[in-house]
Structure 1
């Protein structure tokens, strides 16, 4: 018998388990991630504001710069590469001209001996200009022209003053302006991309996201935040000097670099599961270099760096509050979901009534019954004869083909009349037309009923079989749509119900309106389709009786005795939730068919 030697757990695995058990480390990593994201957003505010042109001209350029963003990077990006190449060739040629014409000894500055002399004779006056060196590394060459680097070996005058002849100076001004515009466009695009990532992680309030490319996922445009950037950039350009903006930008860049280094060291140790010594060496080597430049930028703190502090505090606080509230609501829905048996078992005791029609219950959870539905049945013991729990899941592709878009299964026995539907959509899909979506969903459910017992390949689920419904235009034979005019009757809407105020119910009725409504024809009668046709008839009759949409809305509140920080965080989340954009999928639900169920969750 061979005995296998037990492998010792890796250091990275042990560190990961230790961090998973320590909640303080979770908040620390969250803070580092939010801080890095805030630095990118702050860079998008500050970089476009740096300019050597007069303020009115700078403001006009900024307005044009942000106006171009709605066209998308792929439509205006073709001019980026020629401008950058021209800029690099130009500054390279001008630099070579200055070295050959003014001082060929400047090439000695690359010697380590020169660096040693610079550090040996260093004082606070020499240390401050390192922030300007950082800006030149980052590509903000216009700001570099405002400063001089003084040393024992290397002395230079401002760059623009050394450029000759005069015609070259004017060309430099034009090309540098174009290069600044390209750099600002790239920075703004990066700002939109980081916000997109924060939205995916529930770390940013809901905003309208426009994907400008169907081939590249990262090319996005955010109209709401674009206007905020315009206002902030114009305010900073008008109210602050270019030198102060440069100091703030240097601090922003080096803080983002240091944050990235810290997070990268965690990735090396925890995700790649490398030796902790490798992670520590990476952090010490790159972190020490960035810490040197950070100390130089901190020395210029009084020269406008407080702007960054205000931006960071506002952004980090808002992002943390949104993430905290969103996670609490999601955990509440997940931990309080129930099976289908309790609502049905309560029927005899509560005398639950099954009314005619179809009820679409929108929920974020893909398994179990959401807590708000159980709460709704408990306080208002009635629900429709057919229920469809609908969940929407985003996938990182432009479009999901119709053959892979709907995953449908049955929730419980057939007599329950309950279905589960997961709708997958891409980042360029717009699920906004509720009428068309309702018709398509009814057809998909009909197709599921017709193929359920045919041995079709299904997905495994704790709740039963779930089938990926194919393209109905290529052989679907369950329900055939037929357009017709119909009256949309009066329906109960806006039932706001909470466990604290159980008597508050509001009923709003809307007049009859006429609109195009799709009817469905059943398949032809046949012995093998008898049971299926009976269930399809029940589906069509329920649809003709009317539809209602149930949405859950969890209200967060702080428990009595909570500390001030928790109360402030929850208040900020509630403010952001009430003033940001509504969920995308609930925008076009008819008011006459909407039932909103409110619940108060004290944390």
Structure 2
């Protein structure tokens, strides 16, 4: 079913909803009850050490694929012009060792992992923490009731932060934080394009040692075939093979660590002198600009470090710290040191230091493991990209593309068909165009450093506002970590015209999509909020209009706004003058929080009078909740509605009062009987309507710029936004599962 009409929009000054309008309370503005129960504070997730150790082992296969494969291409990127001085090897190794110590170990493992959002990490987690503490978000559906959700609360110290008040009063600061979050998200998605390219290409390139006749063209095409196969199998999910990721990556890390230890002992035990900062100073003194440029290759030693934080939600902070400190860090130190020991004796091995450092008997096992490790690393970044798209979508920053859950058992395993196809095309194009890990590395370095700088910036804000860290510790963090990252950023930007423009180009396209979608999304919401239908109008439509008939069944109307009933309902009744016996107006709402507990998910409100059988519901979800519900949404909705009716008719407080009211036993019994009969009648009405059939009515809102709008607004709405709608396959309320056979769309055009 599809109907359409054009509704005149308000004047420009009326489109911005005034504060007094948002705070005006009537019977439909306040969502009153949640079901069932509310617990203050977050329950501590106290896992036993056996569980933590298992999670630490499992995290190896998901978190460390990228950083674990970086030893296959770092030195050839750092020594892109060969080794000029023998002791330059000490200098580069020293840079790498201090880099993987200060950034992954100190910054992420010891500091940033403290900034999780109820166990979830990543750019959105940091942004959500800041938005919950300071009023800097742009979510138009924010309500006071949201702060009653247990996970929403923050254990912040008393007293007002000066920085908080500055951020809340600055519109520029709010836009800048949103811009930075979109940029960080875009850069992580860019990693999902570059990681498969560089990992697979560097691993396959090792075949040259066994077959010198193998040309670079053949290696490139073999890599392309592997990439196409990798993206083609995404639709089947990873649940059937994911259980082997951790053992394979553990074996890979032990293998490269063992080879590194062998090379240190066999070739040059004195390589440990590289920890002396003097060699780094001498390296820069002798090579000057070339040494600074080589930092772009050294930074590749920590590619994938952001995954330590972004993927912590699948495990625990303690398990990530254990796996990093006990296996990943020691094996990486041994691997880089072992390659440096070989390079110190054989300077001509710089172009292929990894495979040249592998002992002959271990070549083929290492080559096979390298290819498998690169595939696992690619798989992890592709899955991470899907997760970032899901989080962006849930907060209104990305079109509602179709999301497929590939595993009923593991909630984190999702597949986005359209994005997967575009990622595959981008990976194949990058591999065919750049054809070497050196050029791809130039692009990769910019994406890595940009995300790290943004994470550091958000972390400093959290240190100041939420943690109230001592100022000397904050200054130390900025001076040491921030200065190092800015130096790396200056180095990778130098290679902008040598491939470094690629992640920035990807990010620009993604950010444009996010900005357009988010801006028009907020304009649509404000339009509906101004033109919402009052309770009196609902009564007139349903009770007094003789042309509207009630038919058996239950209808669920979906809308964006949470403070009232959207104008599209009036439009529907005018075109289809028949309503089901029970009506539920549902708003699917995403909070600045990782997850909402099922018992706190639903807020209900009755539309009076009682005999209308009309209800309002706000279903609240976190940005990682998509697809977690075990039951169909309509079943959960009806069950929670009946709980709400029971609590409304027979609240616990009244039951207690009736129990102690022994002075008038007859009145108490009559009261109980009347309430019981009313409850049974209403529950029976709900059950009959549900049995007669559930229809899901979706508001399909088309938008156009109103007459007289300026050129920029017309370009944004009429062209950019509508172009995205026409060319992207948009899912219907992608957070919940709606049966397509019982879904009707009601179209209405808004003039914004």
Q: TM-score, normalised by structure 1?
A: 0.72
**Paired residue for 1:390?**
585
Q: Distance in 1 between matches of 2:502 and 2:448?
A: 14
How far has the Cα of 1:450 moved from its partner? 7.8
Three-state SS of the structure 2 residue aligned to 1:368 is coil
Match of 2:748 among 583, 587, 598: 598
Could you say what secondary structure the match of 2:548 adopts?
strand
Deviation at 1:132, TM superposition (A): 1.2
**Residue among 267, 270, 275 paired with 1:110:** 275
Task: Say whether 1:176 aligns with 2:370.
Answer: yes
Tell me by how many angstroms 1:417 deviates: 4.1
Residue in structure 2 matching 1:32, options 180, 183, 186: 180
The one-character-per-residue Cα deviations of 1:212-233 (angstroms, maximum 9, x if unpaired) are: 5567654433233222222211
Pairing partner for 1:582 from 717, 722, 731: 731
For residue 180 of structure 1, report the CA deviation from its aligned partner: 1.6
SS of the counterpart of 1:362? strand
Q: Please provide the CA RMSD for this pair.
A: 4.3
Q: How does 1:445-484 map to 2 (within 5 A)?
A: 453-455=649-651
Specify the alignment match of 2:454 in structure 1.
259
Would you say the 8 A contact 1:432–1:588 is kept in 2?
A: no
2:702 is the counterpart of 1:555: yes
The 1-side partners of 2:482 and 2:731 are apart by 42
Bigger Cα displacement from structure 2, 34-43 vs 227-236? 227-236
Pick from 587, 593, 607: which aligns with 1:411?
Answer: 607
**Cα deviations by residue, 1:438-470 (Å, 9 ceiling, x for unpaired):** 9x9779878877886444679xxxxxxxxxxxx
The match for 1:157 among 349, 358, 381 is 349
Q: Report 1:184-583 matches (<5 A).
A: 184-212=378-406, 217-242=411-436, 243-274=438-469, 278-279=473-474, 281-344=476-539, 353-357=547-551, 360-374=556-570, 382=577, 384=579, 386=581, 388-391=583-586, 393=588, 409-421=605-617, 427-429=627-629, 437=634, 453-455=649-651, 550-559=697-706, 562-570=709-717, 571-578=719-726, 579-583=728-732
How many Å separate the matches in 2 of 1:371 and 1:60? Answer: 52
Q: Max radius of gyration: which structure?
A: 1
**What secondary structure, in the 3-state scheme, does the structure 1 residue paired with 2:699 have?**
strand
More strand by share: 1
Q: Which has the higher contact order (CA 8 A, sep 6+)?
A: 2
For residue 251 of structure 1, report the CA deviation from its aligned partner. 1.4
> Aligned-pair distance for 1:361?
2.6
Q: Which residue of 1 aligns with 2:171?
A: 23
How many Å apart are 1:392 and its aligned residue? 5.4
What is the aligned residue count? Answer: 514
Contact 2:252–2:369 (8 Å) recurs in 1: yes
- After superposition, the Cα gap between the structure-2 partners of 1:123 and 1:231, relative to the gap in structure 1 and judged at 3 Å, is same
1:519 matched residue in structure 2: none
Change (3 A) 1:12 1:85: farther
2: CA distance between counterparts of 1:14 and 1:288?
25
CA 1:119–1:457: 2 relative to 1, 3 Å: farther
* CA deviation map 1:395-427 (0-9, x unaligned): 9779959xx987765311224442335567962
Aligned counterparts of 2:408 and 2:688: Cα–Cα separation in 1? 40
TM superposition shift of 1:316: 0.8
C-alpha separation between the residues in 1 aligned to 2:517 and 2:368? 43
Structure 1 partner of 2:254: 89
Evaluate the alpha carbon distance shift between residue 271 and residue 562 of structure 1 in structure 2; reply closer, same or farther with a 3 A threshold: farther
The answer to which structure has the higher helix fraction is 2
> In structure 1, how many angstroms separate the alpha carbons of the residues matched to 2:517 and 2:488?
32
TM-score (norm. length: structure 2): 0.59
Aligned counterparts of 1:304 and 1:86: Cα–Cα separation in 2: 33
Deviations 1:195-245 (A, max 9, x none): 222122221221233345567654433233222222211121122221211
Tell me the distance in 2 between the aligned counterparts of 1:107 and 1:532.
Answer: 78
Relative to structure 1, is the Cα distance of residues 346 and 354 closer, same or farther in structure 2, using a 3 angstrom cutoff?
A: closer
